[in-house]
Amino acid sequence: MSSSMSLMHVLASMLVITFGLVLSSRCACDESRPNILLMMGDDHGWEETGYNGHPHVKTPVLDEIAATGLRFDRFYAAHPSCSPTRASFLTGRHPNRMGTFAPGWSFRPEEITIAHILNKAGYQCGHFGKWHVGAVKQGSPVNPGAMGFHEWVSHDNFFEMNPSLSHNGAPPQVFQGESSEVVVDEAIRFINATRQANKPFFTVLWFGSPHEPYSGRPEDLALYDDLPAKYSKRVNLTSNETGGKANRPQGEVLRERYAEITAMDRAIGKLRKYLAKEKLRDNTLLFYCGDNGTSPDAALGAPHRGVKAQVYEGGILVPGLVEWPARIAKPQVSDVRASTSDLLPTICSLVNRPLPNRPLDGIDLTAALDNKMTERPSPLCFWEYNTSRLKTAALKPYIAPELQSGTTPLVKRMGGKATRDFTNYHQPSITEADYVGPRAIIDHRYKLVVHERNNGNVERELFDLVADPAEKINILDQQSALAERLSRKLYDWQRSVLHSLTGADYSVVQTKE
């Protein structure tokens, strides 16, 4: 055989091998599940983004995601405060179903999280940053490891600069640096290790910003040097120096808060650049939201009514963004009312896993990802359970108190402590007293808000959120029949939630992993 013929055979063989590898790679890519990266800011309200028209705050990275991906203009935290929303985020269920009533109330070991489900689907699961649904230490039955995550670098609550974080439940260690960048760096390290193991990754990244007390790098603070002269009223918050209460001019507070938001935005940008550099961006579902509305110290009173810890729009409406170039190839804006409770059922649909066999409050949003859903088919309900009667009752702890004690310190001190403990109780027999507490139901364009006032009266307000998104005009008298229908729907939903609260859902045996 001539040398030229031999060379032709070699080249032909190389072409076949190369073509085969390309086909193999292409098939593997087509068949692979998406990487999933779910992020959440702490106390980051809907209006505190550049793309939503804020007059001051700078969020160029979130603005770019909003301009190129899927922007939910009506995305809600399932609860107006942090621990409950985080429970909904992980489980697809309203937090009252598992006794996560308020900040510092843990969820329960029997709950099934997205991480449990994605474990079964072959994902490597990691949690980074704020946890706040139980203690992160070893031995806690609700730490990230017990709830489905393979690795975690986490805090019991929120954190500031140079955060103290626990790696896989070990005693906390200080991580030097701006806190949002610290947790992003840890997430990148985890993703690199997961790629070496040839597995898809599921990464939950919960920032400690912009929760007070506030701080910022000089270059970020300088962006907002004009604010102290513009906002002179005094507001209450935590002192970053003492950990105790402080009363300061709002302009100074906003300067520091917005510096934190900008730093968080930059850290998200670092993560996106990493995904692009490593050719992971196209097939990674990247999501961002807040855990509740803007805190009272920072709220500017527009464009929505209410603040954190209230069921008005200002307390529950948050940024909601999705980026996934392989599926969302063109910019989209959705008016569908979506919620943190929708994450679990949506992800189950995306990875073709069955839903947990128990009541869920979220819905599958995959049609919204494909721009084929125009309206939510079922109501959204919100409810702040009134825990006041539980404080004096003799209740059996759901988890031994020593397992609920926190270890990771933070600046803000409570009861003289720099760490946070958690609680959860076995629910006593349900009575009508269990149905009270600020609550709301949104069904299509209408929202009913219910409060028990100090004088014992029940106050109801009905709003048309399309005509009146600021909730200024109570149309209850003009739409009394509609208000009654919504009241009955809300009460029936509460009955279902309280049935879950008794632990009845756990009677169905299900395997988590």
Say which CATH number the domain at 431 has.
3.30.1120.10
161 part of a folded domain: yes
pLDDT digits (tens, 9 = 90+) for 443-491: 999 999 999 988 889 999 999 999 999 999 999 999 999 999 999 999 9
Last residue of a domain, one of 331, 358, 378: 378
* Structural domain contains residue 256: yes
Instruction: Please check the confidence at residue 12 and state whether its pLDDT lies above 90.
Output: no
Indicate the angle between helix axes 82-91 and 343-350, nearest 10 degrees: 20
pLDDT of residue 391: 79
User: Would you say residue 147 lies in a domain?
Assistant: yes
Q: Are 251 and 227 in contact (CB under 8 A)?
A: yes
Sort 464 into a burial class: Cβ within 10 Å, 0-12 / 13-18 / 19+: middle
Specify the amino acid at residue 153: V
Sole residue written with tokens 């709003």? 463
Six-digit token string for 33: 């599940």
Same domain, 250 and 357: yes
Which structural domain range is residue 444 located in? 388-507
Instruction: For residues 394 and 373, state if they share a domain.
Output: no
**Residue 352 and residue 396 in one domain:** no
- For range 137-151, the mean pLDDT: 98
Helix axes 60-68, 250-277, angle to 10 degrees: 50
Residue 33 contacts residue 123 (beta carbons within 8 Å): yes
Average pLDDT over residues 30-42: 84
Query: Do 433 and 358 lie in a common domain?
Result: no
**What integer is the mean pLDDT of 20-38?**
55
Residue 463 shares a structural domain with residue 319: no
* Tokens matching residue 493: 């939903």
Asked if 147 and 115 sit in the same domain, the reply is yes
Confidence of residue 63 (pLDDT cuts 50, 70, 90): very high
Statement to judge: residues 302 and 435 lie in one domain: no
371 and 452 inside one domain: no
pLDDT of residue 249: 98
Banded model confidence at residue 507, pLDDT cuts 50, 70, 90: confident
Q: How far is CA 38 from the centre of its chain?
A: 8
Which of 16-30, 31-45, 288-302 is predicted least confidently? 16-30
- DSSP per-residue codes, 461-486: EEEETTT-TT-----TTTTHHHHHHH
- Domain final residue pick, 378, 397, 415: 378
Select from 341, 360, 378 the last residue of a domain.
378
Q: Is the pLDDT of residue 30 over 60?
A: no
At residue 389, the pLDDT reads 79
**Amino acid present at 177:** G
Would residue 27 count as lying in a domain? no
Decide if 26 is inside a domain: no
Mean pLDDT of the chain: 93
CA–CA separation, 512 vs 18, rounded Å? 42
The total of structural domains in the chain comes to 2
Q: List pLDDT tens digits, range 436-455.
A: 999 999 999 999 999 998 88
Can you give the pLDDT at residue 456?
A: 80
pLDDT (average), residues 40-46: 98
pLDDT in tens, 93-134: 999 999 999 999 999 999 999 999 999 999 999 999 999 999
d(CA 12, CA 407): 64
Residue 508 has pLDDT above 80, yes or no: no
